[in-house]
A and B are shown apart, each in its own frame.
Chain A
Amino acid sequence: MHNLIRFFKRNSHIFLFIFLEGLSIYLISNNTFYQSTAISLFANELAGETNLRFHKIEHYFSLSSSNEALVKENARLRAQIASSYVSYTQKSFIVNDTVYKQQFEYIDAKIIKKTTNKRNNYFMLNKGRIHGVEKNMGVICPDGIVGVVVLVSDNFCYVMSVLHQDSRLNIKDARTKISGTLIWDGKNYLNGKLIDIPSSIPLQKGDTIITSGFSEDFPQGILVGKITSFKKDKGTGLYNVDIRFFVDYNKLEYVYIVKNFFKNEQKQLTNNFVKNE
């Protein structure tokens, strides 16, 4: 008995090690991201506050470039409003507003923490539940697609970037309209990969890739990237496509969170359909 107690005393650090290692593995395996337990949400808020403070310092160094990007987008949007169009027809017409029902709304947000050099990358945004952000909302920026919201606390949220092992986004080729899936191989944050495109479709170098609009999280036609090279895989009859993202995720600063007003309805319909099958 005495020896047993001495054994436990001498090797207490080994038992502590096993316990903590088990805890780490539990944290990793659970959803590959933390569960929304009280501790992790508190940690999220704390990390958010601190990151926000430090970001304010960092922000001054990129003021000019982010300003430039905003001006550019402003100019593009200004070109789209009604006053910048001249009517070519002499006929008068009525704009019937009730024909349109708004489907997407955008919540503007700022990135306060980001990584691009990991195998799995995340962004932290300064908007959370009290601003109307929910889990699984899409995130876009003026130049293209950014990711999907995975964890929300009161004031902040985490976004799973497209630069992630588990990121699978539905995209299509703007010219041929053929759809496929966007993944990231972890090598370079400027390049992505497309899979599930049948090789019977003639692709071209330089083709623009946009979102397909098949998922409820993103509107159709958000820019993704340009095809840089493609190869036929003889075994599967599918293409191996390399694309270059339009967005430099390392320089990204302001983003929009996409809110889909019809999402619940779409989800419900899908669920009912699955039940009936």
Chain B
Amino acid sequence: MSRTILLTAFQFILIAIFQIFVLSNLNILSFCNPMIYVWFIILLPTSTPKWIVVLLSFIMGYTIDVFSGQSGINALSLTFIGVIRGGFISLFFADKDTQSNLRPSIKDMGFTNFLIFVSIIVVIHHTIYFMVEAFSFSEFFFILLRIVLSSIASIFLILFFDFLFFKTKR
């Protein structure tokens, strides 16, 4: 149990630092800003109580907000992910898996399932984020472009880091 808490805290710090000091400073295209901190919520053990997931997602979002000088957009969009994550977990995992300490990754879910799981969550998160950020429909096409490009980048990064840290044993 304490090992899980320590590991989660470690992941929190690493992902937050990477997001704030590396990804937010990258400027590949003006329309593409990947947000990898969604991965932190995806990675939580499947048996985590729902209210802890919600609380952790708010804390993560607010941390990103404070350090990148935004006013609660990350917190809002990530808290939403925190509350819908439980539903998707029960959709993708068998009942006995949701009781154990599984962490959603390619190793445990298989590539296709993990890709679908991550894509759904990332696209929902990015859609809320960019909608709230612009707060108008007048630039709809550009918001859409932002959502699509950033989502692709985020999903790619999450898959890449998953490969890197949770190697599949064959």
Contact = CB atoms under 8 A, between A and B. Distances in A.
Nearest to B59: A20
Contacts of B32: 117
Interface residues of B, number: 41
B132 A28 contact: yes
Interface string A1-42: 000000000001110110011011111101111100000100
Contacts of B71: 27-28, 30-34
Interface string B9-34: 00000000000010011010111110
B79 to A, nearest CB: 5
A176 B61 CA distance: 48
Interface in B11-70: 21, 24-25, 27, 29-33, 49-51, 53-55, 58, 61-62, 65-70
A51 B58 contact: no
Contacts of A158: 69
Interface centre among B25, B29, B31, B61 (most CB of A within 10 A): B25
Interface stretch (A66-74, A182-190, A212-220, A228-236): A182-190
Nearest to A158: B69
Contact of A24 (B61, B130, B139): B61
Interface string B99-132: 0000000000000000000000000000000101
A124 B54 contact: no
A130 interface: no
Contacts of A105: none
Given A13-B54, A20-B58, A27 B67 contact: no
5 contacts: A12-B50, A24-B61, A51-B67, A115-B24, A187-B30
Interface of A: 12-14, 16-17, 20-21, 23-28, 30-34, 40, 43-44, 46-47, 50-51, 54, 58, 113-120, 122, 124, 158, 165, 185-189, 250
